[in-house]
Homo-oligomer: A and B are copies of this chain.
Amino acid sequence: MEDVARETGITKSSLYYHVSSKEELLSRALERAFKWLLGVLDEPGAQSGTPLERLRHIVYRGVIITLAFVQEVELLQRVKGNTPTEREAMMRRRRFDSEVAKIVREAIAAGQVDASIDARLLTRLIFGLGNSLTQWYRPDGRLRPEQIAEAVSHLIFEGVTRRN
């Protein structure tokens, strides 16, 4: 809390007026990440269309949200279940993962996604790729979020090999 007070330039007592503890600070940041990430699943593009179309929508929008809330998503990744807030976050993260895994399986069943890749593994790779963005992305960097979301989608769905 002392670090936060110093960084934001307010006194520690002012900070405690707004948030009661470090735990609450974490809880609020995770709340923001979930509100937006889980929100993607409720968007029209994730609700209608073929499984492949829905999956494409979730990947693209998931990247956009990850980049817009890069610090919150990074926190979410680090959660290990040490406190009630962290355990709650892990449960919601798992629910998000399994919703996406379900759509992956539907896309495979519909013959739209290659059945040679194991569905759970594929879901993990998609999340791994999306999560890795927080390691290097800087909002003031050279690439716009839309460019990155396009590239990630292209990699996942079309692959990089050029076909003639």
Contact = CB atoms under 8 A, between A and B. Distances in A.
B155 A158 contact: no
A160 B161 contact: no
B121 A129 contact: no
Contacts of A136: 124, 128
Contact of A155 (B112, B115, B133, B159): B159
**Size range of the chain A interface in the assembly:** 35 or more
Contacts of A148: 121
Nearest to A159: B159
B158 A159 contact: yes
A127 B132 CA distance: 9
Nearest to A158: B159
A137 B151 CA distance: 25
A143 B120 CA distance: 10
A150 to B, nearest CB: 8
A147 interface: yes
A16 interface: no
Nearest to A133: B128
**A-B residue pairs, 5 tightest by C-beta:** A128-B132, A159-B159, A158-B159, A157-B161, A129-B129
